[in-house]
Structures are given as structure tokens and as C-alpha cells.
Structure 1
Amino acid sequence: MTQKTGRRLADGTAISDLVDLEMREVKLRTLSDREIYDIEQEKIFGKIWLLLGHESEIPNKGDFMQRHMGEDSVIVSRDRKGEVHVMLNVCPHRGMKITTHESGNTNVHTCIYHGWAFKSDGDFLGSPVADQCMHGKMRGKEELGLTKARVTLYGGLVWATWNINGPSLEEFLGDTKWYYDMLYCRSKKGLEVAGPPQRFIIRANWKTAGEQSAADGYHTLTLHRWLGEMGNYSSDEGTQGSELAKEMLGAEVSSPHGHALRCIDLARKIVKLTGKDPSELSVEEKLRALPPPGMTSEMVDDLFETMTPEQLEVMAWMPPQVGGMFPNIIFEFLYLPQPDGTVVGSLALHTYVPKGPDKLEFTNWIFVERDTPPELKEQMIQQSVQLLGTSGMVESDDSDTWPHMTLSAKGAQGRNSTLKYQAIYETGKPEGWPGPGIVNEGFTKDDTQWHWWKYWYELMTAED
């Protein structure tokens, strides 16, 4: 049992009173309060694993990119041996940024202020006017390197944490890793980025986007209803938008660490493509008829070498397509119907980097499989940018709501309102479901987002 702290805000409110665990409600003030935001930088962004990018962004020795862990700027670099490192982008001499560039290539990072120099792994090299020993003699060179984070690569994704002796990334992901493997570890050569990530600033608290990323499917029917009226899920059959409503059915995976996945049934798409009942097809036949997003029928061979039989069953039946990783990540591996009846995949991943209690940086990566044919890559990239990019139609919808929620949280009355997560699953796993974790079947509910908030609560009230 995690021990709770009696820490209180300046007005006397206990952190633990911000979340009503019995009623599944969260005070709206959590989306704007400066004190709460500052504590999050310490308790969340200073403690847990954070996603910084993909190793294909720094393919060569000496390549580096500047990213953020909360509000801390960091350098993500590849050293002479090809190893990836993450270092605090703060010179230990006088606090200047070591690099002000977004990316580049160098084997030596030199501070422009006083010229202190560091290797690509963060170790201190020396200071100018060596005979004068301007770095002093009170600390040895081994003490003057850049502060280093703990780093793990998973499926090419670069993760880091300041909690050097804390849980491993695998422990942090828990049961959900079984599902994420289907996305990021499914092929031999793996994924690569389709260019640098897109970025833009939104005047909103990072949690407005973060909690939605925990597999909130419900808002799709209203905020993105155009998808069912004239977009990829429009249909000439039956009720307008009915195809989009069917996408809300499936299985949802929750996690005690706030990770979430929405697994959507492929049966309707397979019937349209093959004219056959999916129950009459083998796992391999279904995967070749409808390969995972971004893969061709020929690339399906890789799956039988990288995935377990149980994972293959889920990939051919009800694969993860949308979801998030706590605290600020959403992924989209979508099977998007085309006007000619075919299906083209879109692979995107967003992070919502906090830039203050009412500002976040939206970062969007578009992925393709390394072995994907060039013409399919181009089609995927174009479709992903139009739908999921910083100017994409879906993200334009979402980024319009978050600032309004943040403003609502600032009002004298509004800040005492609550966010409610009271639509609860009563079903359990689909019959025959082979995967681990907290799994429920049916129309999308609030469970995944509630588990997100419960982990936020656990971290914010834990003793140091």
C-alpha cells in the first residue's frame, strides 16, 4: 500500500482531496492550478519514465536532438560507440543551456558562455585556458559532467527517467507491454520516423490532453462526428455515422499505471474485403487479407517470427488501435477505409509536453515500417498529416476543447466543479481473450481514463 502524504496547497486543500476515489470524480482546479503543476514536475515528470522520441531521429554517431522531460531541457545523443544517452541540457558551471539547437551532429558539446566542453555521453572534457584550470580543483572532472538520466530503448522509442534506481521500463509498462509489442516490435527491421516531429503550442494544461489520451473513445462520436458523416467512416448504408459508432465497440485495456488501449474488432472490415465470415478464416488468412496498419500482405511473414500465437490471434481479431501511455502520450495505429474499398494505415504518436499550468507543446511523430514500399509510405504520410498532424482535422478538433477546459478551471465557481468518470464497465474480457491486463468488452467506457487519474493520484500523494 502506497503511503500517503499530508501535503497541502496554500489554501489548505490536501492533495488527496482533489480526487474522490469513491465517486470517481476529480476537481476541475487540477487543470489550472500553479501549485499543483509545480508538484507534478517533481512527483510525476521527475520520477517516471518519459518518451523523448525515436532512435531513427539520431541514426548516426554524434547525432543529437533537444527534447524535454517536463520543463527540463535534455540532450538526446548518440555517442561514438552508437549508444544513446540523455543528459540535462544545463551547464554545471553557470546554468547556461549547453545546446540551443533543436538537433545536429557533434562529438563534443560546448557551452557558448564559458566554453566548458562535454563528450556526447555527457562526461566533462575540460574548460578553456587549461593551464589556468578554470574549472577549479575543488571537484574532480568526474564530478563536473552533465546530469545523466537513465535510458531504455524499446521498439526504437527512446525512454528516460531521473529515477535511476526505480522500476524498469518493463515494470512501468506492466501487462500493457504485451499489447504495445504488437505495435512497436512487430517487424524485424522496425519502425522509422517519417521526418522530424511536428510541433505547436496550445494554451491548455497538459492533463486536458493527457487524460483524453487514456483511450477516451466516447468523444469521437460528437467532437469528430464528421468522420461518420463525410470522412473515413461515412457509409451509404443505414444511419448516418453508424460506421463510426461501431468503432466504439471492442475491448479496452486498462492499467494500474494509467496506460490504456482500445482494441477494435476487425470483423466488419474483413467481411468487406473478402466477402467471407471471419470465423471461417484462419489467423494467417485474416492477417493477409487485412495486414496491420503500414504493412503489406508480404510483410505479414515477419509477424509469425516476432509475435506469439496469442498475440497473432489478437492482431487478427481485435488489435490495439488507439490508446496512451501515462502520463502524456497517445498513439494511433489506424486502419482507415478508402473510397475504393481498400484500407490504408496511419501510424502516429503524440506527446503533450507541459510548458506551464496553461500551456503545452503538442509533438507529433508519424511512423512507417522501414520495409514498407515507397508508394505506400507516401500515401500513409499524406493521410496521417491530413488527419493526425498538427494541422490535421482530428487534432484541430481536439486542440479546440483543451483551452476551454483550462479556462473553465480558473473560474471561482468552475474550479470547484468535477470531472466525472462514472460510466463503468460491467462485462470483463471477451470470451476466449488470450491477453493479460484489466480487459473489458463492449461500448467504450470511462475505466481507462479513471485508471489514469488513479495513478496520477498515487504519484501525487506518495511519500518521497
Structure 2
Amino acid sequence: MADLDEVLADVRRGMIPAHIYNDAEIFRLEKERLFSRAWLFVAHESEIPQAGDYVVRRVLDDSFIISRDQSGEIHAMFNMCLHRGMQVCRAEQGNASHFRCPYHGWSYRNDGRIVGLPFHKEAYGGEAGFSKKGQTLLPAPAMDVYNGLIFISMDPEAPPLVDYLGDFAFYIDYYTKQSPSGIELRGPQRWRVKANWKIGAENFAGDMYHTPQTHTSVVEIGLFREPKAEKRKDGNTYWAGRGGGTTYKLPEGSLEERLRYIGYPDEMIKRMKDMWSDAQLEVVGRDGFMISAASAFPNMSFVHNWPKVEEDSDDVLPFISLRTWVPISEDETEVYSWFAVDKEAPEEFKDLSYKAYLMCFGSTGMFEQDDVENWVSLTSTAGGSMAKRLLLNSRMGMLKDDSPVVEALSPEQFAGPGVAHVGYGEYNQRHLLEEWAAHLEQGPVAVKSHQVGVGAEQEGTV
């Protein structure tokens, strides 16, 4: 790897060292300095609706049990027995009041508390040798929830999630807050791609420029009502807090007419009007922009789109999807992809919306297949020696003096927070990589090691 300071300086001026998309040392620093700090999405409350429900999710090399205990409280626990380190839960999801380690039989409640230790007295002398009182599976260093979205951070000193998200929470509401009941998830579908995790996060954050080229065939076969993929340039890209995304420009009309245009029934529109703030309603009703793809730093993305779902009809129907780009290595990513829908939506709407999701962004979706081919090729090429000599130009939307090609929208033109620009640009990709650079400049996170059954803790770093 080239000198880190030089790499980060190039990134900040919009000239991206090509090798960062397939570099083992860069990936090591990402694990040490970025994924050890950032808030990371792991599950949604709707995936564990009942007492005893759990899912098991990975955060890079670590496995966590996300459970709802008998009192309804949610926990995120490191999936490792306190005795000899066996995973105590090997199923990906289920319902259990207890977890029992298959190695030596230690057992734990679904809130993490240890309750069973075979031959406690004979093997340990009872409490005198090993005190069970207060012992639990190691909890995630930090856990927080926004609109039912469960995040964990490996940093015990992480700021509150809502502070971390900043103004991007305004946009998350469009995807997750369409009624008082919130959303429910189906999935996740999971698949691996031989591509660096940053590429997908950047693409979803703001790459409208690829649509007319990569996805031309999707428009040509009539999946979308719009006649040309180039209409993406009429929307905008916005960046706010630790996330940003894209919008479509809607036809003239009232708020209700615009929401009907993308396929929402009146009963859902009424609930949206009750749930969204005045500013959120103005973005759609006054300004004519509807949110589409977006990414929350570092590796969570959203999609909102409205394809045709019936061959013999021009009617469209919207779907919402969210996903995470879980790094496996510098050149491989595991994609977790969920379908999301308002809990109070009509059942027919839910079924057709799920069909639209699968058709577009499921594991075999048409958009998905188009995108992955590009990302795999980029990653493979970035791993060669020539990539270390190349700075990729990511300055779209900027003149040579760093002034914008198109001025940002004013508050009278766009009611949402953050900075928004109409047309093609790589503003959001640059913002995301600026966040990436800021994290890579920091040192390792300080941690305390927990000594099981002893109670002492030791300082250290990861």
C-alpha cells in the first residue's frame, strides 16, 4: 500500500487510488479503525417479534445473537460460550428461552445470563471457584435502535445512534415510518460477490450516472413507465449527516397525485401524511422529489422504486429494500438483503411489492445482476500492480477550482436537510469516502477484556 496520508489526501480531492478497492492492508485498517467504531445495522425488531425470538448475525469476524427476552427487551450478545469459546447458538434464527453450548453443556437465558453449569460444585467448588452470579454472554459494546432498526457498535464510547445518523435520519423515515406500526421485514436473502464492500455502498449512495448505461435493458423491456433511463438526471443527490441518496423527479401534481403516481393506495397515503413532518411532505408535495436509493455510512443501503408488476398493465407498484454490505475480505462481500413493507399495508399490496423487489433487487433481480458484473470487474482489476499507479477521477460535478458545476438547491427548492444537487455528480461518493478517510486516520478503539468468573477487566486495543 502507498503511504496512508497520501492515499487519504488523494481521496479528499476526489482522485481515488484505484487499489483501495482491493488492498489487504487497507482492509486491515478498515477492520481496525472503521468497523470497530461505526454503528452497523444487524436486524429489525420485526424479525424478533415474540419473546424468545432470535436471529444470529455476523459483523465481519464476529457472530452476535440478537434476541428478545421474556420481558420483551432486546439484546445483542457475542455468540461465544464463556467456558471454551464454542458458539452457543448455531441456528440462524428461531425461538428459545435458553441457549445451551453443545461442547460442555453450559446454558444461558435468552438475555445472556448463565443459568446452567454441569458439575458446578464438583468441577469448580461451586461459587467459591466460579461465581455464576452476574455472569452473562458478552454483550455488544453498544446497541441502539432507530425506527425499529437495530444497530450495534464495537465502540463502547460510541455516540447515541440518532446523533451518529444526524440529518440522514430525516430520509430514513421515508423508508421505515409510513404508519404508526412501522415496517416489517422479509428475509434476509444472502449471497456473496467477489467485490469490495465500498463499491456497492458508493453506488447506492448516489450513482445516478450508471443507470442509463448499466440498466438500459431494464427500461427497454418496459419494466418502467419512464421512456428513458436518462431521466435520472432530473432528480437530485443529497447528503445529510452520515448518509445520502438519490431522488426521482415526479410529474406536476399535488402530494396525493404524486404518491399515487408511484403506486401507493389512498389508505397508505393518508397514513404517510399523518406520520411525516411538514418538511418531509414538502420534499414530495412541493418540490416533487421522491427518494430512491441511499446509503448510511458505512455499509447500510436502501432502495425505493416502483416498477410494473403485471405484464398487461401500465400500473406500477413501489417496493422498499434495505441491505448491508458485510466485508469478508478486501475482494469479497456478503450481501444481506431484506424486503421491507409497511405493516399496515393491504395484503395484496405486500404480495405485489415483494414480487417487485425480487424482480429488481433480489438475489437474481435484473438490477442486481447488472450491477454485480461491474463491481466484480472493478475489484478484480483493482488487485493488479497497475492499479497502484492509477488515480480514478471521482470529481464529477466539480470544476478544476473545486467550485460546483451546478449550484446546490436552495431551501425554497428542496425542503430536506443537507446539501442537494440536481443532475449527475459524484458528490455523495466523495462524501462517503471522506467519512471513510476520517475513520482511517483514527487509532484503534480502546477496549477492556473481560475475565470470566473473576470480575477483573484489563485495558487493551483492537
1:221 maps to 212
Q: Is the 8 A contact 1:16 1:461 kept in 2?
A: no
1:225-264 aligned within 5 A: 225-233=216-224, 242-255=227-240, 257=242, 259-264=243-248
Give the secondary-structure state (helix, strand or coil) at the position aligned to 1:449.
helix
For the pair 1:440 / 2:420, whether they are aligned, the reply is yes
- CA offset at residue 397 of structure 1? 1.1
2:341 to 368, 384, 389: 368
Q: Is the 8 A contact 2:225 2:308 kept in 1?
A: no
- CA offset at residue 95 of structure 1? 2.0
1:41-440 aligned within 5 A: 41-134=31-124, 140-141=131-132, 144-149=135-140, 150-194=142-186, 196-233=187-224, 242-255=227-240, 257=242, 259-267=243-251, 277-278=252-253, 281=254, 283=255, 285-286=256-257, 289-290=260-261, 295-316=264-285, 317-337=288-308, 340-424=313-397, 425=404, 426-430=406-410, 432-433=412-413, 435-440=415-420
Against the structure 1 CA distance between its residues 462 and 34, is the aligned structure 2 distance closer, same or farther, given a 3 Å change threshold? Answer: same
- CA offset at residue 430 of structure 1? 4.8
Give the secondary-structure state (helix, strand or coil) at the position aligned to 1:174.
helix
Q: For residue 249 of structure 1, what is the amino acid of its counterpart?
A: D
Against the structure 1 CA distance between its residues 114 and 212, is the aligned structure 2 distance closer, same or farther, given a 3 Å change threshold? Answer: same
Against the structure 1 CA distance between its residues 58 and 148, is the aligned structure 2 distance closer, same or farther, given a 3 Å change threshold? Answer: same
Q: For residue 447 of structure 1, what is the amino acid of its counterpart?
A: Y
- CA offset at residue 26 of structure 1? 2.0
Q: Is the 8 A contact 2:12 2:434 kept in 1?
A: no
Q: Mean Cα displacement is larger for which, 329-338 or 107-116?
A: 329-338
- CA offset at residue 122 of structure 1? 1.8
Q: Mean Cα displacement is larger for which, 12-21 or 313-322?
A: 12-21
- CA offset at residue 123 of structure 1? 2.4
Against the structure 1 CA distance between its residues 175 and 73, is the aligned structure 2 distance closer, same or farther, given a 3 Å change threshold? Answer: same
In structure 2, the gaps of 5 or more residues are: 398-403, 445-462
Distance 1:324 1:252 in 2: 12
Give the secondary-structure state (helix, strand or coil) at the position aligned to 1:51.
strand
Q: For residue 57 of structure 1, what is the amino acid of its counterpart?
A: E
- CA offset at residue 139 of structure 1? 6.1
Give the secondary-structure state (helix, strand or coil) at the position aligned to 2:443.
coil
- CA offset at residue 440 of structure 1? 2.3
Distance 1:16 1:221 in 2: 34
1:272 maps to none
In structure 1, the gaps of 5 or more residues are: 1-10, 236-241, 268-276
Output the aligned Cα RMSD: 2.3
Against the structure 1 CA distance between its residues 133 and 413, is the aligned structure 2 distance closer, same or farther, given a 3 Å change threshold? Answer: same
- CA offset at residue 193 of structure 1? 1.4
Deviations, residues 54-87 of structure 1 (Å, cap 9, x unaligned): 2111111111111112221111111111111111
Distance 1:417 1:139 in 2: 58
- CA offset at residue 314 of structure 1? 1.3
Q: TM-score w.r.t. structure 2 length?
A: 0.87
Identity of aligned residues (%): 28
Give the secondary-structure state (helix, strand or coil) at the position aligned to 2:205.
coil
Q: For residue 207 of structure 1, what is the amino acid of its counterpart?
A: K
